[in-house]
Each structure stands twice: as structure tokens, then as C-alpha cells.
Amino acid sequence: MPSLRDKLYLTSGYLSGFCIVAITLIIVAQIVGRLLGMIVPSAEDFSGYFLAAATFLGLAYTFREGGHIRVNLVIRWLPPGLRRLQESAVLLSALLLSMYMSYYCCYMVWESYIFEEVSYGYIAIPIWIPQVPVALGTLALTLAIADALYGVVCGQKAQYLQREDDNTNLEEI
């Protein structure tokens, strides 16, 4: 049975996919609009907002599924104890960096809300609205990294390593 964390990562991945579909629809509407002599106001702005949302919302899901690029030419040959130590050190540094990024993304949203910043396109929207998915994506990534670090410290194999091993086995076939 999937845990609440797994559902969060999956939901984050689905929302990222939704943002990609929204970008596609905006671009198609813009193309059709040009053919009909109409413009789609702020299409570039909204596409950019959805692109940022798709990127950051997809981070936790991609991390959990082992989709991030890892250079493992050396670490795959390490003994299990040393590899666990190396994985823990890398995850700890990644956790610290993602916590820093999450804090400042949330702070950016708060500042934009307090100062009532708005976009400069045809359609002026409060800028904190497109910033919220970025902050949520960094928070989800931080949780995913903390989850992986906890598992590695407790002696379990990280979820992303299991997926990586599965992908390696598929390549050998």
C-alpha cells in the first residue's frame, strides 16, 4: 500500500505533467489565434509560469524514481559499507542545499505577497501565485531527500537506487 509520502511524490509528478499539457494548450491556442488574426494575451508569461511549475513540481517524483543524473562510475564498485557512507554524505549535502533553496523560495513567495508584486504582461496577476508551485516543488524535493537519507541511515536501500538498478538490468537485456 503506497504511503502518504509516495502519494505526495506521485501527485507532484502528475501536477508537473499537467503543467506540460497546459503549456502545449497555450501554444496551440496561440498558433490557432494567429491563424485567425487574434492574439492570446500573456501567452508567453503563462507558458513560462507553467514551465517553472512543471520543472519544480517534477523534482521530487523524478528523484524518487531515480530519474536524476548520477555519476556512479566509481561508487558502484565501493564496498557496501563505504557506499552507504558515501550515499549518506551526498544525501546530507543535498538535503542541506534543498532546505536552503526551499527556505528562500518560500521567502520569495512571502515577499511577493507582502509587497503585492504583479506581473508586467497584458494580464497583470499577483506574482506570488506562479511562485507557489516552485516553493511547493522545492519542499517536496526536500522531503524526498530527507526520506531517502533516513532510509539510507537506517540501512535500507534508497528508492532511487532500486529504480537505478532496475534500469541497469533493462539495459543489459
Of 126-130, 139-143, 151-155, 158-162, where does mean pLDDT reach its minimum? 158-162
Q: Which amino acid is at 72?
A: N
pLDDT of 157 reads: 81
CA distance 157 to 29: 46
- Hey, which residues does 118 pair with through a beta bridge? 126
Q: Which amino acid is at 60?
A: A
pLDDT of 166 reads: 57
H-type alpha helices, 2-127: 4-35, 43-64, 80-114
CA distance 165 to 56: 25
pLDDT digits (tens, 9 = 90+) for 44-67: 999 999 999 999 999 999 998 888
pLDDT digits (tens, 9 = 90+) for 68-91: 777 677 777 888 888 889 889 999
Of 29-33, 40-44, 73-77, 106-110, where does mean pLDDT reach its minimum? 73-77
Q: 1-9: which pairs have CB atoms within 8 A and are 24 or more residues apart?
A: 5/143, 5/144, 5/147, 6/64, 8/60, 8/140, 8/143, 9/60, 9/61, 9/64, 9/140, 9/144
